[in-house]
Amino acid sequence: MELSKRLDLFGAEVFAALNEKRRALEAAGRTVYDLSVGTPDFKPMPHLMEALAVSAANTDNWKYSLHDKDELLDAVGAYYRDRYGVAGIGRDQIMSCRGTQEGMLWALEALVDPGETVLVPDPCYPVFQNATLLAGAKCAYYPLTAEHDFLPYVEGIDPEVADAAKAMIVSLPANPVGSVGTPDVYARIIEFARAHDLVVIHDNAYSDIVFDGPAGGSFLGYPGAAEVGVEFLSLSKSFNVTGMRLSFLVGRADIVAAAKKLRGQVDFGMFYPEQDVAIAALTGPREEVERQRMQYQERRDALCDGLEELGWERPNAHGSMFVWARLPHGRMDSMDFALELMEKAGVIVTPGASFGPSGEGFCRMALVLCPEKIREAVAAIAAAGM
């Protein structure tokens, strides 16, 4: 028997290799500072756990849902109005999905046919590339570079490539590079999409983790965005519910309907207790979300200040729960560097090359430890001579 050639699209999973090495260090009694995986260490808010318990106690909620409840769709629409200032989002413009990872695949499979092209940022969250490949499409990478503040620079994209592409994936605030979109950047992206007949798929997972300025917003809040694209709203990082996979595809009704049609062939809908947790998050208090943002900023400062004091170039870290650090001494071997850093300092980071060709020479660090532990990690890096 031969397995599907689809499996050949993907190489070894870098997080599995790092985790195996981490376990070996811990077994040897070493102190380990894991800054690799972006799983929040903050706890879910009590009112969300209560909403889950109450909903799960209702035996009627254990049936197939088959649809998103009207209360949930209305809660998403109200959240866009109250949180982002985007009014008029209708029920037909919203679809729940089990995380943006799953939702990205439904959106792309609804948009592109095998052999067509998708513009993908480089570096990028790996699911952008992987979902494109699983949809049978080709990735055309557009680089996020220091020269342009690690932001999309549409003027640098070959017009012929853009004309051939069907969709463009954008993610701001950006994982892994830590950049935050500006009105000018979004205006250029929207105009670019119109000029080349592209659908923009915007990942908005980190709008509540933006530093040094105004609160994060929504792509759909910019003029013309709703005509050219859709956005993923994720509750995972804002409300610390990563394991529950609460996400929504929001925007152009025809694209949402197409994705919903595909999803309906293999899925019976979001579990009702999960829907009720999402409603509680979307309609509940937001003070804790803001306090959490400031705690992330304190962590960002501890890490970036500390690395800069060691002689590293100050990392790019304007938003998201990650910082994007150039390797010291001009090194361009991010995987070897990550393994060496782990062995010598017990500090685990993700090699930049795992996020795309333009990521070589960098590493990603997640803000998942308290400031005190982050300062300990920086001291361990210093002690290791790195």
Looking at residue 165, which CATH number applies to its domain?
Answer: 3.40.640.10
Residue range 161-169: average pLDDT? Answer: 98
351 and 230, same structural domain?
no
53 and 37, same structural domain?
no
From residue 180, alpha-carbon distances to 80, 121, 185 in Å are: 19, 14, 10
User: What's the pLDDT score for residue 186?
Assistant: 97
pTM, to two decimals: 0.95
Residue range 132-150: average pLDDT? Answer: 96
192 and 122, same structural domain?
yes
d(CA 232, CA 181): 15
307 and 253, same structural domain?
no
In sequence order, which residues have a C-beta less than 8 Å from that of residue 343 and are 6 or more positions away? Answer: 21, 25
182 and 90, same structural domain?
yes
> Euclidean distance between the first and final Cα of the chain, in Å?
48
- Three-state DSSP at 236 gives helix
In sequence order, which residues have a C-beta less than 8 Å from that of residue 62 and are 6 or more positions away? Answer: 56, 272
CATH code of the domain containing 291: 3.90.1150.10
Q: Phi and psi for 249 in degrees, rounded to 5?
A: -95, 125
Q: What are the tens digits of pLDDT across the range 69-127?
A: 999 999 999 999 999 999 999 999 999 999 999 999 999 999 999 999 999 999 999 99
Q: Which two tokens stand for residue 281?
A: 């998050």
Among the candidates 283, 306, 327, a domain finishes at 283
Lowest mean pLDDT among 9-23, 37-51, 161-175, 288-302: 9-23
Q: Which two tokens stand for residue 80?
A: 């866009």
Residue range 247-252: average pLDDT? Answer: 98
99 and 81, same structural domain?
yes
367 and 231, same structural domain?
no
Q: What is the DSSP string of 178-191?
A: -----HHHHHHHHH
Kindly tell me if the per-residue pLDDT of 306 is higher than 70: yes
User: What's the pLDDT score for residue 12?
Assistant: 66
User: What's the pLDDT score for residue 24?
Assistant: 86
Mean pLDDT estimate for the chain: 95
Count helices and strands (H / E) in the chain: 14, 12
Tokens 């910019």 sit on residue: 222
359 and 233, same structural domain?
no
Residue range 308-330: average pLDDT? Answer: 96
Higher pLDDT, 14 or 68: 68
321 and 266, same structural domain?
no
Kindly tell me if the per-residue pLDDT of 213 is higher than 90: no
d(CA 91, CA 68): 9
Among the candidates 283, 301, 318, a domain finishes at 283
Among the candidates 255, 283, 311, a domain finishes at 283
| Percent residues over pLDDT 90 in the chain | 90
Residue range 199-209: average pLDDT? Answer: 97
Kindly tell me if the per-residue pLDDT of 215 is higher than 70: yes
184 and 76, same structural domain?
yes
Kindly tell me if the per-residue pLDDT of 290 is higher than 70: yes
User: What's the pLDDT score for residue 132?
Assistant: 97
129 and 60, same structural domain?
yes
d(CA 317, CA 171): 15
Q: What are the tens digits of pLDDT across the range 3-20?
A: 998 888 887 667 777 778
Length of the chain as a residue count: 386
247 pairs with which residues across the strands? 97, 234
68 and 213, same structural domain?
yes
Q: Which two tokens stand for residue 55?
A: 């909903």
d(CA 371, CA 321): 13
User: What's the pLDDT score for residue 273?
Assistant: 98
User: What's the pLDDT score for residue 15?
Assistant: 72
Residue 20: give the domain boundaries: 5-43+287-383
Q: Tally the domains of the chain.
A: 2
Q: Which helix H or strand E contains 368, and what residues bound it?
A: none
Kindly tell me if the per-residue pLDDT of 323 is higher than 70: yes
Q: Which two tokens stand for residue 278?
A: 């999402």
